[in-house]
């Protein structure tokens, strides 16, 4: 077999992508990829026919074990849990240092939380990475029919939400700009026109609060539903932050494959805002304000 390290490096982007999309956490995904590398270097590979499948199997099993062991930690999380965002391009359109081979959108990662760890793994490998059933059977030590049944169950659990995988980037960027303009201008009617009636806003603060003119702003502990409620919340918070936060700036970037907005106070990230569309209206809003999950967005200071 060719040099083992070279084989691993050839597949590292795929392995990280699988781990990140399974876990929604960059550091944990990188740790699992590193653990996979160490295991790969330790084993005898002379009898391994399909190195790529073997590596994917190791990563997948480690991710499933991690998810099954982390459920209690998720239940103890303060407020709403959202995945850690992964930046693909910065404002200057340079690639992120992290290999982002198929990083799914925040909305899709939240959607996949409906699935069991095994359902999630099979769904990702089949629907995102285009593995055939014979490959799935080898990875999961199951029959092809078993894998088909698990995928069928996963799709049933997702229901009509599967259509959310289809995205028009140009439409998305235009809607995001319109959405932000309406929030900044405080135009309730313009904002409502952009939102679906059953819109839901999810904000992950991880217990963090922001001091604005002596007031402590914290992320909503529960989802906010309905376009009037969401509009009022967004306009009120946008106005307070824009007027009161020192050196407030915002910029568009590509995170998890979609145009998103990052806001800053000086060099410190405040929030990452992502939207999800349905029939050219905003269906969901995702706001990440947990500083731990935004640490990779911190600007370098000179």
The domains located in the chain, with CATH, are 4-83+107-165 (1.20.140), 169-297 (3.10.450.50)
Confidence of residue 215 (pLDDT cuts 50, 70, 90): low
Per-residue pLDDT, 97: 43
Model-level pTM?
0.88
Q: Which residue has the higher pLDDT, 225 or 266?
A: 225
For residue 194, pLDDT beyond 90: yes
% of the chain beyond a pLDDT of 70:
85
pLDDT above 80: residue 301? no
Mean pLDDT of the chain: 86
CB 159 within 8 A of CB 115: no
In this predicted structure, the answer to whether residue 98 has a pLDDT above a threshold of 50 is: no
Alpha-carbon gap, residue 211 to 189, rounded angstroms: 29
Q: Report the pLDDT value the prediction gives residue 99, as an integer from 0 to 100.
A: 45
Range of weakest confidence among 7-21, 43-57, 252-266, 276-290: 43-57
Comparison of pLDDT for 46 and 122, the residue scoring more: 122
Average pLDDT over residues 155-180: 80
Mean pLDDT of 209-216: 58
Q: Which residue has the higher pLDDT, 249 or 92?
A: 249
256 touches 106 (CB < 8 A): yes
pLDDT at 96: 46
Instruction: Give pLDDT tens digits for 227-264.
Output: 999 999 999 888 888 777 888 888 999 899 888 999 99
Contact 146, 238 (CB under 8 A): no
pLDDT tier for residue 272 given thresholds of 50, 70 and 90: very high
Compute how many other C-beta atoms are within 10 angstroms of the C-beta atom of residue 85.
26
Q: Please give the pLDDT value at position 265.
A: 87
Of residues 236, 229, 238, the one with CA closest to residue 261: 238
DSSP state at residue 211: E
Which two tokens mark 231? Answer: 């509009």
Is it the case that residue 292 has pLDDT exceeding 80? yes
- CB-based contact 54:48 (threshold 8 Å): yes
Residue 119: pLDDT band (50, 70, 90) is: very high
CA separation for the pair 69, 181 (Å, rounded)? 42
Question: Rounded to the nearest 10 degrees, how much is the dihedral formed by the CA atoms of 135, 137, 141, 146?
Answer: 160
pLDDT value of residue 161? 66
- Tell me how crowded residue 284 is: count the other CB atoms within 10 A of its CB: 23
Cα three-residue angle 165-56-102, rounded to 5 degrees: 30
Confidence check: pLDDT of 92 > 50:
no
pLDDT band per the 50, 70, 90 thresholds, residue 2: low
Which tokens sit at 37? 């590398």
Query: Is the four-CA dihedral 114, 259, 291, 29 of positive or negative sign?
Result: positive
Q: Residue 35: pLDDT above 80?
A: yes
Mean pLDDT of 276-281: 88
**Residue 177: its pLDDT value, please?**
92
Average of pLDDT values for 114-131?
93
95 confidence band (pLDDT: 50, 70, 90): very low
**Is residue 8 within a helix (H) or strand (E), and if so which, with residue range?**
helix 4-23
The radius of gyration of the chain from alpha carbons, rounded to an integer in Å, stands at 21
Q: Tell me the three state secondary structure of residue 126.
A: helix
């Amino acid at each position: 077999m060719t040099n083992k390290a070279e084989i691993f490096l050839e597949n590292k982007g795929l392995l990280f992508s699988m781990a990140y999309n399974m876990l929604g956490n960059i550091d944990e995904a990188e740790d699992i990829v590193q653990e996979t590398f160490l295991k790969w270097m330790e084993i005898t590979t002379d009898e391994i026919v399909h190195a790529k499948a073997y590596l994917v199997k190791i990563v997948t099993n480690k991710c499933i074990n991690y998810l099954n062991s982390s459920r209690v930690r998720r239940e103890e999380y303060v407020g709403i849990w959202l995945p850690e965002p992964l930046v693909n391009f910065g404002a200057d359109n340079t690639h992120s240092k992290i290999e982002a081979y198929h990083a799914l959108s925040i909305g899709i990662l939240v959607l996949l939380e409906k699935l069991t760890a095994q359902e999630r793994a099979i769904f990702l490998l089949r629907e995102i990475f285009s593995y055939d059933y014979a490959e799935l059977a080898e990875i999961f030590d199951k029959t092809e029919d078993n894998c088909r049944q698990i995928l069928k169950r996963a799709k049933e659990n997702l229901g009509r939400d599967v259509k959310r995988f289809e995205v028009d980037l140009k439409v998305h960027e235009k809607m995001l700009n319109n959405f932000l303009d309406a929030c900044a201008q405080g135009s309730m009617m313009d904002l409502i026109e952009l939102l679906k009636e059953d819109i839901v806003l999810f904000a992950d603060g991880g217990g963090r609060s922001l001091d604005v003119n002596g007031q402590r702003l914290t992320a909503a502990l529960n989802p906010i539903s309905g376009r009037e409620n969401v509009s009022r919340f967004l306009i009120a918070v946008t106005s307070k932050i824009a007027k009161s936060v020192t050196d407030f700036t915002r910029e568009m970037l590509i995170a998890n494959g979609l145009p998103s907005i990052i806001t800053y106070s000086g060099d410190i990230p405040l929030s990452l805002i992502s939207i999800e569309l349905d029939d050219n209206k905003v269906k969901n809003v995702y706001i990440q304000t947990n500083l731990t999950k935004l640490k990779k967005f911190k600007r370098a200071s000179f």
